[in-house]
A and B are shown apart, each in its own frame.
Chain A
Amino acid sequence: MSYLYAAYIATWVIHIAYLAYLVRRYTRLRTEIEELKKNR
């Protein structure tokens, strides 16, 4: 059973890590957009 849970946990760790990476990139992009708006 431990192998089964390890596989399912690993799957979701990989997906959540990638989603976190996307959220971080999006947050950084929003900051850059705000800075561009301020400079105009």
Chain B
Amino acid sequence: MKRAFPILAILTAVLLSYGLYGALISAPTEQTMGDVQRIFYYHVPSAWTAFTLFFLNLVASIVYLGRRNPKADALALASAEVGVVFCTVVLVTGPIWARPVWGIWWTWDLRLTLTLVLWLIYVSYLVLRRFSSSGQTPVLAAVLAIFGALDVPLVYFSIWFFRTQHPQPVIGGGGSIDPRMLHILLINWAAFSCFATLVCWSRYHLEILSREVEEAQALESLVVESPR
């Protein structure tokens, strides 16, 4: 991954630039909503990326519970943290789109409420990781992550099985989308996925390094305190 990092960074920069150009300039303007619809090119890929990161968190948590592998625990923490960042983008860009289109910033619609609950679950996960000093914290966090991940399919399928105010799914929802719009959407999804991989990888290594420093500091304090 160390060798791939600069290549992935360049690819991410190219995709993000092309995605931004496509979203703001080259994609056709939607007839009903006008330019505000272009928020969708950031909102939807951010949601998909957040879901992918929460799925990674679920897999890493299950691996940790099964094998007690500290690297899996570090990956679970990194993916949850970056997932919360992307989920925050979803919760911020959604109301900015809703205000001119629906006339309101927020409504307690099922999709919106479940997304807020999903964000709160993973924020609780991070608070637990940050402030609990118990040796059982990684286990408790892994169990919380498994329950949290159950909300992801609920968020995704809520607009399939229930009548909600949220627009229907872009892909597989029975509606149609202009191929040029779909192209830009997929470019932005690829760009955000690459960006999330870079950030998650950096956060994972920061966590590993941080644990090594904590161990070294603990060892050092033992050496200082031990009688001569």
A interface residues, Cβ below 8 angstroms from B: 1, 3-4, 6-8, 10-11, 14-15, 18-19, 22, 25-26, 29, 32-33, 36, 39
Contact = CB atoms under 8 A, between A and B. Distances in A.
B165 to A, nearest CB: 18
Given A3-B97, A11-B42, A14-B89, A22 B206 contact: yes
21 contacts: A1-B35, A3-B97, A4-B24, A7-B39, A7-B43, A8-B39, A10-B92, A10-B93, A14-B85, A14-B89, A14-B92, A15-B195, A18-B82, A22-B199, A22-B202, A25-B206, A29-B213, A32-B213, A32-B217, A36-B213, A36-B216
B220 A8 contact: no
Interface string B39-58: 10011001000000000000
Given A32-B217, A36-B217, A8 B24 contact: yes
B163 interface: no
A39 B23 CA distance: 53
Given A7-B97, A8-B23, A25-B210, 5 more contacts: A7-B92, A10-B89, A14-B85, A14-B92, A18-B199
Contacts of B82: 18
Interface string B55-85: 0000000000000000000000000001001
The main secondary structure of chain A at its interface with chain B is helix
B111 interface: no
A7 B46 CA distance: 12
Contacts, number: 65
B117 interface: no
Nearest to B84: A18
A29 B92 CA distance: 31
Nearest to A9: B96
B114 interface: no
Contact of A3 (B23, B96, B195): B96
B212 to A, nearest CB: 9
Interface in B206-227: 206, 209-210, 213, 216-217, 220
Nearest to A32: B213
B129 interface: no
A29 B85 contact: no
